Structure 1
Amino acid sequence: MEVRLDHILNGETLTKARELFEHWVRSDVFVWSNLVQLLIIVLLFAVSRPIARVLQARLDTLFARETRRRVSSILLKNAAKLTALTLPATWLFLLWVTLVAFDYYEQPAEFLRIAAVLLAVWLVIRLTSTLVRDPGWAKAITVIAWAIAALSIVGLLDDAVAVLDGVSLTIGGVRVSALLVLNAVLSLAILLWVAVMASRILERRITQSVQLTPTFQVLLIKLLKVVLVGIAIALALSTVGIDLTAFAVLGGAIGLGIGFGLQKIVSNLIAGVIILLDKSIKPGDVISVGETFGWINSLGARYASVVTRDGTEYLIPNEDLITHQVVNWSYSNDAVRLKIPIGISYKSDPRQAIALCFEAAREESRILKQPAPNVLLKGFGDSSVDIEMRVWIRDPRNGVSNIKSAILLRVWDKFHEHGIEIPYPQRDLHLVPPAGLEVGAVVKES
């Protein structure tokens, strides 16, 4: 070891190394072609600055207008970070155009290529950290980008691709290589991310449209999501050279499995589509299903979210909304009539009681003036004279029991104020002794 160190550190070896380095710098670095490329890189940066300022001003104006329209998206949330990338993006575009020109005229452009690769990797990492929320995915994209850039700069990218393509196996006449799997995973991840982002943007646009009904909005959003995800998967498979017709048999097997094992899931999916098409239930409707009373918060592919007045959220399968009896309080009209039974004593005046009920209904703000409230004498019960109030409201979502309670409290106060008696159940008991029964007193002698 000492001999080797002495051999390496002696003056002759160091002199030769210095001479080799100087020769490499003179022959490969400080040559006119490289100096011209460095000058072009600096010049393109100077040209990019005014162009980037104009583009950034346009983007700031666009994002400001969308923000005033209250359009919420991941692009607007990161608008400042995105507009800051206009300079490197413009610089990269000009470098790419210059590279194309150099390659066309067969001029050396190694420095231009290195600068373009490094700048592209830096842009990818910045965009990833801005748009991709998952830190795991962002880190993976960063590592892959730097690895590709390093291999490209040192000229080993083609060799690495050849090595990955050489690691392969054949399955049923189909050659599957590591390169194919890597391309498929990357393509699928990128295309699915693009599909999800596009579906979110389109969903916001659709929900803001006043020309579309809520039911059609939900149906259109679901169809767009399915179509976009399907297109992303098909494109990912086709980009790696997989024949989509080979999935015909697999599709038949999946369909058979669905028929036997996923009947409930499929029935809920079909029921959800039927509900959206016939418009029997839509978001915002107030419904009653069994003991559950609330409004439709959202319609999913498998279930409907129903929120009750106490904040409890029930997830009701779509199939139950078709097979069971559902009361839709706002199906064709949001006006709802409530029937409130009231009983008064036989000693009280029913005409006065009816007038007081009308007065109580007129004083309640949630009761509609048209259709007008009505009070009817329904019959003579065992313990009371039966009266029924019929009133209309237009906001069942705000509660039905609470408006009934408010009206009954007003009636209670008015009845007590005017001496109208509210009866309670009464029974007269008559004792009839059997025939021949003598009733007497027994005196006990002491």
Structure 2
Amino acid sequence: MDPQTDPAHAIALLQDLFTNARAWAEFYFNMLLRPWIRYQVVIALVLFALAWGAARLARPRLHDWMRAREGWPRWRMRVLVIIHRRLRMIFFVSLMWLAVLVMREITWPSRSYLLAIFANLAAAWLFVVFATRLIDNPLLRSTVRYGAWIWVTLSILGLTEDSQRLLESMAITLGEMRLTAWLLVQALVILTVTIALARFIARTTANRIRRNEDISPSMQVLAVKFLQVLLYGAAFFIGLNMVGVDLTGLAVLSGAIGVGLGFGLQKVVSNLVSGIIILLDKSIKPGDVISLGETFGWINALGARYVSVVTRDGREYLVPNEDLITGQLVNWSHSSDFVRLDIFFGTSYDDDPHAVRRLAIEAATGVKRVLSHPKTPVCHIVGFGDSSVDYILRFWISDPTGGLTNIRGDVYLALWDAFKANDISIPFPQREVRVLDDRADAAETGGILQP
């Protein structure tokens, strides 16, 4: 058995680490009995109280000053917010290093040894706080922050080598690969750094792609998705390679897993491939107004598995990509933003149809969203009904995202006002009911009463 994988060896290293930690604790406890060590602890506590008081006085003034800085870039305001929240630590680190420098000038270096440790720890923790604020993901930021704090603390206290030996002793063997706790820690740190770097590059590049007006919206989405997959995949495999993990076995394992999952994830793969086809053929893009069955709305976002469609009533439908490929889809703004709408109405036979057509066109043209050029409204007679002369009014709009029902309602109101102002009547069906007397009915039917 490999001595490094022997559990007894790990226990012995743990005992050595415990012994060293105990010796370190006894050493510093004995140092606390010395007058100058106690003075340094008291000085640190006094400086912490002064930092707390200074931060309490400075926070309101800094807050008021920040509120007066209108028009500043967002990143500057974020830095000021971080400084506002960490004023106490900033004052404490400044006072501690000032005290260390003064004591090193007026007395022996050993009499400021403990203060230097406190100052290094506080400064390192403050630096970690500011550095991790660059990470947007809360979980990733917390993981990096606490991991960095632990590593910095061990480095300042001189316990890194003992901790590393302990983590290397905690290992399992998988074939020819020896997996240690130290290797897992390294992998976690390197993967975190590489993925954070890939995330930063992906977001920066994605913003530039979205600002490029020469690229269509669908191609922008495709380019951003492809870039994210490429960067995150490269970060993952590069991180594992830097740690020393053999990627050959991982490739074989991933292939076997892919074959097994292919049968159970057919719908997921189908939606993924359908999403890529949608982006490539540019059939739909963000902002298009579509109708799919009873769902009518505009496309909010294109995802890898579904398309987000927002309706006029605020509902958001997640339509699978496969349904958009296999089903009949109406894209109201695919090749052109022009949309024609038809409304039907009728007027009395006593009204002049030429005047009715002219008033209908003028009423539709007066509505704000209705186009008057290059596509003008038209009105035609479509039939002579039982109670009215029937017309169809056709008009065009160029902003279907603004809604269709509301523009129809506006045109109907304009027609109503125009007809009222010009004495054009809108008839309704009328029926005449006659009640006949029984005798008269019998005389008309030859004396035979009808049941």
Q: State the TM-score, normalizing by the size of structure 2.
A: 0.68
1:198 positional shift: 2.6
1:361 positional shift: 1.7
Rate the CA distance shift 1:198–1:158 in 2: closer, same or farther, 3 A. same
Other structure's SS at 1:187 match: helix
d(CA) in 1 for partners of 2:434 and 2:335? 55
Corresponding residue for residue 247 of structure 1:
250
d(CA) in 1 for partners of 2:122 and 2:413? 75
CA contact (8 A) 2:133 2:141 kept: no
Rate the CA distance shift 1:209–1:360 in 2: closer, same or farther, 3 A. same
**Alignment size in residue pairs:** 351
1:190 positional shift: 2.5
Rate the CA distance shift 1:357–1:173 in 2: closer, same or farther, 3 A. same
Rate the CA distance shift 1:124–1:244 in 2: closer, same or farther, 3 A. farther
CA contact (8 A) 1:78 1:130 kept: no
1:235 positional shift: 1.5
Corresponding residue for residue 222 of structure 1:
225
Mapping of residues 24-173 of structure 1, within 5 Å: 78-80=78-80, 121-122=124-125, 124-132=127-135, 138=141, 140-173=143-176
**Which of residues 368, 381, 391 in structure 2 aligns to 1:387?**
391
1:137 positional shift: 5.2
1:118 positional shift: 5.8
Mapping of residues 224-303 of structure 1, within 5 Å: 224-303=227-306
| One-letter code aligned to 2:236 | I
CA contact (8 A) 1:294 1:307 kept: yes
- CA deviation vs aligned residue, 1:371-392 (integer Å, no higher than 9, x gap): 1111111223344322111111
| One-letter code aligned to 2:198 | A
d(CA) in 2 for partners of 1:419 and 1:81? 67
Greater mean alpha carbon deviation, residues 196-205 or residues 269-278: 196-205
| One-letter code aligned to 1:424 | F
Confirm whether residue 331 of structure 1 aligns to residue 339 of structure 2. no
d(CA) in 1 for partners of 2:233 and 2:324? 28
Greater mean alpha carbon deviation, residues 136-145 or residues 316-325: 136-145
1:135 positional shift: 6.2
Other structure's SS at 1:287 match: strand
d(CA) in 1 for partners of 2:148 and 2:156? 12
Rate the CA distance shift 1:326–1:143 in 2: closer, same or farther, 3 A. closer
- CA deviation vs aligned residue, 1:292-345 (integer Å, no higher than 9, x gap): 222111111111111222222222111222222221111111111111112223
- CA deviation vs aligned residue, 1:16-44 (integer Å, no higher than 9, x gap): x99xx9xxxxxxxxxxxxxxxxxxxxxxx
CA contact (8 A) 2:140 2:192 kept: no
Corresponding residue for residue 41 of structure 2:
none
Corresponding residue for residue 103 of structure 2:
none
**Which of residues 375, 380, 402 in structure 2 aligns to 1:376?**
380
Confirm whether residue 418 of structure 1 aligns to residue 426 of structure 2. no
CA contact (8 A) 2:343 2:393 kept: yes
d(CA) in 1 for partners of 2:411 and 2:405? 10
CA contact (8 A) 1:203 1:221 kept: yes
1:429 positional shift: 8.2
Other structure's SS at 2:164 match: helix
Other structure's SS at 1:254 match: helix
In structure 1, stretches of 5+ residues that fail to align are 1-16, 22-63, 89-110
1:122 positional shift: 4.1
1:176 positional shift: 0.8
Corresponding residue for residue 198 of structure 1:
201
Rate the CA distance shift 1:427–1:260 in 2: closer, same or farther, 3 A. farther
RMSD: 3.8
Mapping of residues 309-348 of structure 1, within 5 Å: 309-348=312-351
Other structure's SS at 1:376 match: strand
CA contact (8 A) 2:129 2:145 kept: no
1:79 positional shift: 4.3
**Which of residues 347, 350, 355 in structure 1 aligns to 2:353?**
350
1:282 positional shift: 0.7
d(CA) in 1 for partners of 2:303 and 2:128? 35
1:262 positional shift: 1.1
Corresponding residue for residue 446 of structure 2:
438
d(CA) in 1 for partners of 2:127 and 2:239? 20
Of structures 1 and 2, the one scoring higher in RCO (CA 8 A, sep 6+) is: 2
CA contact (8 A) 1:81 1:130 kept: no
**Which of residues 382, 407, 410 in structure 2 aligns to 1:403?**
407
Rate the CA distance shift 1:439–1:307 in 2: closer, same or farther, 3 A. farther
Q: Percent identity?
A: 45
- CA deviation vs aligned residue, 1:262-291 (integer Å, no higher than 9, x gap): 112111111111111111111111111222
Greater mean alpha carbon deviation, residues 385-394 or residues 206-215: 206-215
CA contact (8 A) 2:383 2:389 kept: yes
CA contact (8 A) 1:258 1:266 kept: no
Other structure's SS at 2:133 match: helix
Rate the CA distance shift 1:77–1:211 in 2: closer, same or farther, 3 A. farther
Corresponding residue for residue 178 of structure 2:
175
CA contact (8 A) 1:121 1:145 kept: no
Rate the CA distance shift 1:307–1:439 in 2: closer, same or farther, 3 A. farther
